[in-house]
Structure 1
Amino acid sequence: MIVEDILYGSFEVEDVLAALILSEEIQRLKDVHMAGPAFLINPVWNETRYEHSIGVMLLIRKLGGTVAEQIAGLLHDVSHTAFSHVIDLALSNKTDDYHEQIKAALIEQSTIPTLLNQYGFDHRQILFDDEQWGLLEQQAPLLCCDRIDYTLREVYRYFSVPLKEIQEFLGSIIIVENQIVLNTVDQALWFIDQYQKVVIDFFYDPRNICSYEWLAKAIQLGLESQEITRDDLLMTDSAFLKKLKSSNSLQIQQLLDKMNHPLKFSVCSSEDNYDIYQKKKIRFVDPLVKIADQVVSTSSISQVAQTKIEKMLEDSEKGIFLKLG
């Protein structure tokens, strides 16, 4: 199978990867949106978990990762619920990891173990500890393929960052002891700027915030009335939304209808009379860079990086207050 991606190019992948890509579990992700319900307000925000999963797999491949790590990359988001992280808000799960909590059970009940076994892979060894894969996952603020892919994909699509800049960044990556390191401070600063666009400018866009607020409340009401169940959360976005729309609850219908009208809002301070307050998971990056023969954090050698990171943390810690109407 030939797999193509706008960011990384075209690759011929092994049969096991091809089979996984065609599995119903991965195909479901074509209708699970990265930005949750935000595309219902702004259709441009339509990136899917499928695109991201393919991207992470290919980036791992591009950086020399094993087939096993590519499998882990392809399947790392397989347990994401409909509308992605909106369920974390609905369940008041501040760690934003509901999909991780259900991942093992979902995989065990899926076609994935049998499929991997057919190609000589043990799903438990590959899929139940992503931290064993240094390219796929690293604790923040380090870079990893997961963090890099959603950042590059979203700034390319939503902020019109030129593909040439993205390719230059990818060309600056070197692997040192299975960790992603950049070869210049300039590229590290560039990535910090791109990450800020995603986790502050995009995640905290009022249209994004409102869509999460309204759909999360609709899900809460649906779960309380038992019109929807936890199992329903593993539908596609389209199927899940259809079920919510069939609810007899006037409150649910009113919440869903809000996303069909132009949004009027103002950003206010905590002292003002606000209608919505949200604070997302704290996210920041401080890439490793290689200077001479040393690998160091960017902020340890760049005051500019330190200032950018402090501002990102300050904005993340503050959250956003919105007044509607």
Structure 2
Amino acid sequence: MIVGDSLYGDVEIEEVLEKLILSDEIQRLKDVHMAGPAFLLNPLWNETRYEHSIGVMLLIRKLGGSLEEQIAGLLHDVSHTAFSHVIDLALENEADDYHEHIKSELLTQSTIPELLLTYGYDYEELLVDDTKWTLLEQSAPLLCCDRIDYTLREVQRYFDVPVSEIKQFLQDIKIVEGKIVLRTTKWALWFIDQYRKVVIDFFYDPKNICSYEWMADIIRLALADHLISLADLMVTDSAFMQTIRAIDSPNIQQLIQKLEAPVSCLRCTEEDSYDIYQKKKTRVVDPLIVRDGKLIAVSLVSDEAKEKIEQLRSDSEKGIYLKIT
């Protein structure tokens, strides 16, 4: 099977990866949007967990990761609910990791363990603890394939960053002691700038924030009134929309109308009469570079990088206040 990707090109993959991609569990992710319900207000925000999962798998492969780590990369987001991280806002889970808490249970009820066993793999060894895969996952502020892929994918699609520029960045990556390292300060600074576009300019876009707020309110109301269960979220975005459309609740139907109508959300301050305040998980990156044969965070050798990271952290921690007009 040949897999095509906008960032990494066409790649021929092994049979086990093909079978996993064709599984119902991975196919479901074609209708689970990375930006959650934001695409309801802006259809151009249409990146899916499927695209990202394929991308993470291919990036791990490109960087020399084992087949086992590619499998883990492909399946790392398999337990995301409909509308991705909106469930974290609905449940006030600031760590944004609800999907990680339910991953093991979901896998045991899926076709994945049996499929992997056919190829000689124990799903628990591969999939239960992603931290064992150092290319796939690293704690922030280090780089990892998960963090890199969604950043590159979103700046290319939503901020018109050329694929040629992205390929230059990828060429600057090297793997040292199992960690993703950049050869030059130039590309470390470049990635910090791209990451800011995603976590500040995109994640905190007013329409993005509004969509999350209203969908989270829908889920809270429906859960509180026992109109849905958390299990009802383990479907596609389209299927969940059908579920909530059928709910006989004026409040929920009013919120759905907000998600489907043109809306104007204006930034304001805490002192103003705001309608929405939202603070997302604080996200920063501080890429490793090689200096005098040692791995070191770029912020320790570049004042420019340090300033960019401090500003990113500050802006991320402020959150956003919005007035609906």
Normalised by the length of structure 2, the TM-score is 0.99
Shift of 1:44: 0.3
Instruction: Tell me the equivalent position of 1:34.
Output: 34
Partner of 1:79: 79
Name the % identity. Answer: 65
Indicate yes or no: 2:119 matched with 1:129.
no
Deviations along 1:266-308, one digit per CA (max 9) or x if unpaired, are: 2111122110000000100000011342221110000000000
What aligned pairs does 1:118-197 form with structure 2 within 5 A after superposition?
Answer: 118-197=118-197
Partner amino acid, structure 1, of 2:286: D
**Greater displacement, 266-275 / 51-60:** 266-275
CA distance in 1, matches of 2:216, 2:162: 34
Cα distance in 2 for partners of 1:95, 1:182 equals: 28
Q: Partner amino acid for 1:142?
A: L
For residues 169-194 of structure 1, the C-alpha deviation after alignment (integer angstroms, 9 at most, x for no partner) is: 00000000110000110000000000
- Establish whether residue 234 from structure 1 lines up as the match of residue 234 from structure 2: yes
RMSD of equivalent CA atoms: 0.7
Paired with 2:237 and 2:263, the residues of 1 have a C-alpha distance of 22
Output one character per residue of 1:42-76: Cα deviation in whole Å (capped at 9) or x when no partner: 00000000000000000000000000000000000
What amino acid is aligned across from residue 281 of structure 1 in structure 2?
K
CA distance in structure 2 between the aligned counterparts of 1:265 and 1:187, rounded to whole angstroms:
34
Aligned to 1:198: 198
Q: Which region of structure 1 is more displaced relative to structure 2, 8-17 or 145-154?
A: 8-17
Q: What residue ranges of structure 1 are gaps of 5+ in the alignment?
A: none
Distance 2:209 2:289 in 1: 34
Aligned residues: 325
SS in 2 for 1:3: strand
Letter in 2 for 1:294: K
Structure 2 CA distance for aligned equivalents of residues 260 and 99 of structure 1: 26
Partner of 1:48: 48
Q: Which residue of 2 aligns with 1:61?
A: 61
- The DSSP-based 3-state class of the residue aligned with 2:160 is coil
Matching residue of 2:89: 89
Q: Distance in 2 between matches of 1:99 and 1:264?
A: 31
Q: Aligned letter for 2:33?
A: H
1:223 paired with 2:236, answer: no
Please give the alpha-carbon distance, in whole angstroms, between the structure 1 residues aligned to 2:135 and 2:11: 18
Deviation at 1:224, TM superposition (A): 1.4
Counterpart position of 1:11: 11
Query: Secondary structure, in 3 states, of the residue corresponding to 2:37?
Result: helix
Write the letter of the residue equivalent to 1:101: H
Letter of the 1:62 counterpart: K
Q: What's the TM-score, normalizing by structure 1?
A: 0.99
Q: Which amino acid aligns with 2:259?
A: M
Q: Say whether residues 1:284 and 2:287 are aligned partners.
A: no
Alpha-carbon distance in 2 for matches of 1:247, 1:267:
32
CA distance in 2, matches of 1:265, 1:150: 25
Runs (4+) of structure 1 exceeding 4 A deviation are: none
CA distance in 1: counterparts of 2:128 and 2:41, whole angstroms: 35
Q: Shift of the alpha carbon at 1:85?
A: 0.2
SS at match of 1:36: coil
Q: State the partner residue of 1:244.
A: 244
* Residue 257 (structure 1) aligns with: 257
* Matched AA of 2:116: L
1:104-130 per-residue CA deviation (whole Å, 9 max, x = no partner) reads 000011000000000000001010111
More displaced, 259-268 or 12-21? 259-268
Deviation at 1:138, TM superposition (A): 0.2
Deviation at 1:324, TM superposition (A): 1.0
CA distance in 2, matches of 1:265, 1:27: 34
Q: Distance in 2 between matches of 1:260 and 1:314?
A: 33
Tell me, yes or no, if the aligned pair for 2:207 and 2:265 is still in contact at 8 Å. Answer: no
CA distance in 1, matches of 2:119, 2:261: 50
The CA deviation at 1:262 is 2.0
> Which AA in structure 2 matches 1:322?
L
1:151–1:273 distance in 2 versus 1, CA, 3 Å? same
The aligned residue for residue 267 of structure 2 is 267
* TM-fit CA distance, 1:233: 0.6
> 1:98 is matched with which residue?
98
* Aligned 8 A contact 2:210 2:265 in 1: no
Q: Deviations over 1:223-267 (max 9, x none)?
A: 112221111110100000111011100000100101222222321
